[in-house]
Amino acid sequence: MSRLLVLFFFSFVFGHAQVPDSLRTLSSKEIYQIAVDKWKGGDDLDQRILKAISDKADDDISKLRYYHMRGLQETDSLSNLFADSLIDVSQRIDDDRFLASGYFLKGRNFYRSRNYKESLDNFILTSNILERNRDSIALNRLVKENIGLIRLLIGENKEAILMYEELLEDYQDKKSDNYTYTLFNIAVAHHQDADYKKSQEYVKRGLKIANEINSEGYKYLLSVYAANQYAFGNYQTAIDSLKTCIPFFKEIGDYTNESISYYYLGMSYKEMGNVAMSKKHLNRVDSIFQITTDIYPLTRPSWETLIDFSRDEGDSQAELYYIKSLLKVDSVIVDNYKYVNSNLTAKYDVPQLLKDKERLIYRLESRNTLYVIIFGIVVLVALFSFIIYKKVENKKIQNYKRIIAELDAKKGQAKTSSKQQKIKPSLSEEKLRLVGNGLAKLEEENFFTNPKATKATIAKSIGTNDGYVRRYIKEVLGKDVPEYFKEKRVMYIMNRIREDKDYRKFTLSAMAKEAGFGDSQYMNKAFMELQGFKPTFFLKQVEKEINGNS
């Protein structure tokens, strides 16, 4: 039950601001305040404000503001790129406020994509930062709410109850959405802990407040009320309440609570002996899972019940389908929940290990004669270094010009190795066409940006074996598999730098991750091996050309 995932961190950074008639004369901080205020009000940021923040991003702090707002505005992988850049710069300048925002953004994004493992890791990192920088009650509440939510997801109900009870005490306004939804989460935790009577006490308390303030939380609390009625054996009452909740969950796109509601609806009909209606609603649980590949473990008995129905009816084909679906369900539960369950307490409760900062102070003490000698040596070394530097830079510029010409001539396709087609292919014409066409299609989809891409994943996508893929890359393209991936990722980064102005604002670490490299160090090494210069050099040359032509 995911309603209480609170996503925004900016309320502790700056306060409110009114949108002025013009943005041109405002500072980066003032424009950021405007963006924060609009976002907190539930409004999307128009391009005018985002561009104004981008134009003012001329130092580290203003860049952090830009990364933060773009990270909030964007979704999924693009939001993670801005979050990575936010983290990189924050760590470099020791800004815990924006560092916490970066990890929290990633926690939000991974939660949205149902990757609870990564979501938990990033929320824990956020919590650790707050432990050493407690400058906002609101921020600590946000972390409590999200860790509490994950505890609910994995069934650590008693721990979740304690955390949400603390939040109830923290809230000053006892008639607010936050207070109502916290009551909802406590009711859920008690229900999952099989304390249905206690759960119902919180439901009734929350329904009263939600009704008074006309809160959407009313429907959420009503769904827990229905689940408790099912547990009490009042199946028709549960059905009537669930039929009221489901249209609301559909309208707002809350697949998790829609699926849970269908589960209790199907199980209520089963207990009443109506197999047809039970199958109908449990099948809707399955349909939602097939679409979202997300599963709330509480609904797992849906598939067990459908398997039993199929066996009773002698429908082997349906039984096989539901068995396969249940295996898929279990694999998702193992991937997303068991990791979280085994690591939450250990990771969340360990003290934050503060980084030791070492500063070395060099004191040079020497006589005047030594200064003269040192100065002379420095001048000679500097002159020699300058000569070497100019030679290296000239070579890099020549490489850059050659590569740009190749990129333009081939319209972004990777350069052809001098070794290509030197080896007579040992594959049949049919295999050459199969692998060649399949590889070309995967390259159009930029499959190589997936860090887990291998010759085996290529083979699986094409429908052949990895031996054919390896031989094709070796004999037709003239390179080994690691070199192939390295070249594709380097060319991808260079094309993105040339064509996408937003991409040029990313940190090197973010670029490396987005292209499939493990980190920026490996990306730098790949650039040097293949092109003779680092990506920073290529980026500066591109920006020089663009500024020179503008």
| pLDDT tens string 78-117 | 888 899 999 999 889 888 888 888 888 888 888 777 777 7
Pick the residue with more confidence: 336 or 63? 63
Alpha carbons 199 and 458: distance in angstroms, whole number: 51
Q: Which one-letter amino acid corresponds to residue 176?
A: S
Contact 210, 204 (CB under 8 A): no
pLDDT value, residue 12: 34
Question: In the predicted model, what is the mean pLDDT of residues 236-247?
Answer: 94
Q: Among positive and negative, which fits the CA dihedral 469, 471, 472, 473?
A: positive
Q: In the prediction, which pLDDT does 416 show?
A: 37
Query: Taking Cα atoms as reference points, which of 308, 14, 12, 45 lies closest to residue 141?
Result: 12
In the predicted model, what is the mean pLDDT of residues 450-460?
Answer: 88
Q: For position 399, what pLDDT does the model report? A: 66
Residue 18 has pLDDT above 70, yes or no: no
Per-range mean pLDDT, top range of 168-182, 318-332, 347-361, 431-445: 431-445
Listed in sequence order, the DSSP H helices in 314-355 are 316-333, 339-349
Per-chain mean pLDDT for the chain: 78
Q: Which residues contact 85 (CB under 8 A, 6 or more apart)?
A: 63, 67, 505, 506, 507, 509, 510
Q: What is the DSSP string of 375-439?
A: HHHHHHHHHHHHHHHHHHHHHHHHHHHHHHHHHHHHTTPPPPPTTTT-SPP-S-HHHHHHHHHHH
* Residues sharing a CB contact under 8 Å with residue 425, sequence separation 6 or more, in sequence order: 432, 471, 472, 475, 476
Residue in this structure with the two tokens 């420095």, named with its chain if needed: 378
For the stretch 466-499, pLDDT in tens is 888 888 988 888 888 899 999 999 989 988 888 8
Does residue 354 register a pLDDT over 60?
no
pLDDT at 2 over 50: no
pLDDT at 285 over 90: yes
Per-residue confidence (pLDDT) for residue 139, from 0 to 100: 59
The DSSP 8-state label assigned to residue 10 in this structure reads G
d(CA 541, CA 213): 59
Q: What percent of the chain has pLDDT over 70?
A: 75
**Calpha distance 408→52 (Å, rounded):** 32
What is the reported pLDDT for 17? 36
Better-predicted residue by pLDDT, 350 or 540: 540
Q: Quick one: angle between helices 76-93 and 60-73, nearest 10?
A: 160
Cα-based distances in Å from 225 to 5, 23, 155, 182: 21, 50, 19, 15
Q: Kindly tell me if the per-residue pLDDT of 391 is higher than 70.
A: no
Q: What mean pLDDT do residues 382-411 have?
A: 61
pTM of the model: 0.54
Which of the residue ranges 39-48, 49-58, 287-296, 325-334 has the most confident prediction, judged by mean pLDDT? Answer: 287-296
Residue-wise pLDDT tens digits, 34-43:
877 777 666 6
Distance from the Cα of residue 45 to its chain's centroid? 21
At residue 335, the pLDDT reads 66
